[in-house]
Amino acid sequence: MIVRKASLNTPVQQPSSAPKFKMVAKTMLNLEDVLAEELIQMGAENITTGVRAVEFEGDMRLLYRANYTCRTALAILKPFASFDANDEQQLYDNVYRIPWEKTIDVDGTFMIDSTTSGEIFTHSYYAALKTKDAIVDRFRRNFGKRPSIDTENPDYKFNLHIHDNHVTLLINSSGDSLHKRGYRQSVGIAPINEVLAAGMLKLAGWNNDRNFYDPMCGSGTLLIEAAMSAYNIPAQYYRGNRFGFMKWKEFNLGEWKSVKAEEDRKIGNTDFDYEIWGNDIDEVVISQCESNLEYTKLHKDIMLHVGSFEHQDPPEGKTLIVTNPPYGERIKVEDLNKLYSTLGDTFKNQYGKDCEVWLITSDFEAMKNIGLHPSKKIALQNGALDCRLLKFELYEGSRKKKAKGETE
């Protein structure tokens, strides 16, 4: 684990005197560092990065803020019990002893997600079942009734984490995964996960200081994430009041409203003065993208084009291009090899040195046809697919040559 501290010139939230506790933000492979940076910016302390997770400390305001604004977190968990258990009976007994009635409403619903490693608990499902039994038995014996299980939309979501004989129970403060931003009213065949899109932008260095272009934008996830960052729109602005912590007994509505208002006041408070453009060959997908943009009220800030990417040049001036071409996994393209080779030619001949291009793909065979060497490769995971985010640095392209009146 790497311990992180805020750099000296990083503007962070002021420390507060409210009680602090440990939290764990879950994320995707190789997004841990960008998530740690987001948490530092909002005043998190004692940050350590792990695998797909970042541990940190803060108070309830930070828990609300992290849920509302973190672009690269999937969930914010709060550990609330840990103990050792050498067999299932010890697991049951220790779970039974926890005063669950202080956390769960007897008329509420709950579910347990579990991960186990080591030789004692080899089946995570059984460990979760034993934990559930201990919780409901405690309620039945003390109150004559018990909360029910709901795996779809529970009031309380718990994570049971067992490594060897060490057991940690955490409560999920986010509820539904934070990639469910609420802005995608309409999606194409293969929309990219919103947290992955936000993470790709951060890895690509999107700092709201140049134009942005996605030549294969689909339903517009990368465009919307880029624009939300550019206009300081909190990651969960469109989600509505749907967070797990709202069901907690310690939930303080006034405090939550004050954190939300603080963040909402920053919207539009930016000197971003660049273009954000999207393009896609599929008219239906572009109209889905349009309806997402209208829903987010970003339609006036993002320009869309319909057509094959080689017929649309990027905006003039310094431009970051981040795109998610078809992989051939979920989208069948007649000749993926041809598509990647045309993509490479377009980058080389039409984009020029003002442009920096990043693309994510899992199709390593088709990628060989791009005819360009990536200057950076970052392993990422898109659902079950192993992917690479690749950076291409471009030199003077035909756009510049055309401007000089030269021919190729």
Ligand X SMILES: C[S@@+](CC[C@H](N)C(=O)[O-])C[C@H]1O[C@@H](n2cnc3c(N)ncnc32)[C@H](O)[C@@H]1O
- Minimum distance between the CB of residue 34 and ligand X, rounded to whole angstroms? 19
For the record, the structure tokens of 90 come out as 């010890």
- Please give the structure tokens belonging to residue 9: 């010139």
Instruction: Tell me the closest approach of the beta carbon of residue 228 to ligand X, in angstroms.
Output: 14
Closest approach of ligand X to the CB of residue 151, in Å: 27
Dihedral over alpha carbons 242, 286, 277, 261 (to 10 degrees): -20
- Minimum CB–partner distance for residue 328 and ligand X (Å): 10
Among 221, 361, 362, 382, indicate the residue that binds ligand X (CB under 6 A): 221
Distance CA 170, CA 158 (A): 6
Exactly one of 67, 72, 172, 324 binds ligand X (CB under 6 A); that residue is 324
Count of positions on this chain that bind ligand X (CB under 6 A): 21
- x/- binding map, residues 154-193, to ligand X, per CB under 6 A? ----------------------------------x-xxx-
Place of tokens 């009041």: 241
Interface with ligand X includes 280 (CB under 6 A)?
yes
Stretch that binds ligand X, among 35-43, 75-83, 275-283, 296-304 (CB under 6 A): 275-283
Decide: is 347 part of the binding site for ligand X (CB under 6 A): no
> Which regions of 266-354 does DSSP assign to beta strands (E)?
276-280, 302-306, 319-323
Q: Is 285 in the site for ligand X (CB under 6 A)?
A: yes
- In 241-299, beta strands by DSSP E: 276-280
- Give the range of 17-25, 46-54, 112-120, 274-282 binding ligand X by CB under 6 A: 274-282
CB closer to ligand X, 107 vs 283 = 283
Alpha carbon 406 to chain centroid distance?
44
Among 262, 282, 290, 345, binds ligand X (CB under 6 A): 282
- Minimum distance of ligand X from residue 324's CB (angstroms): 4
Residue 326 is a binding residue for ligand X (CB under 6 A): yes
| Length of the chain counted residue by residue | 408
Within 39-58, the residues that bind ligand X by CB under 6 A are: none
Residue located via tokens 């995964």: 177
* Residue 129 CB-density burial (10 A; 0-12 exposed, 13-18 middle, 19+ buried): middle
The closest alpha carbon to 56, from 43, 69, 71, belongs to 43
222 makes contact with ligand X (CB under 6 A): yes
What span, in angstroms and rounded, lies between the C-alpha atoms of 350 and 387?
A: 26
Task: Report, in Å, the least distance between residue 73 CB and ligand X.
Answer: 19
Residue for token digits 């004989």? 165
Q: Which helix (H) or strand (E) holds 222?
A: helix 221-230
Of the residues 58, 278, 325, 328, which one makes contact with ligand X according to CB under 6 A: 325
Read off the amino acid at residue 338.
K
Sign, Cα dihedral of 288, 240, 178, 273: positive
101 vs 282 by CB, closer to ligand X: 282
Applying CB under 6 A, the residues found at the interface with ligand X are 188, 190-192, 216, 218-219, 221-222, 279-282, 285, 308-309, 324-326, 331, 339
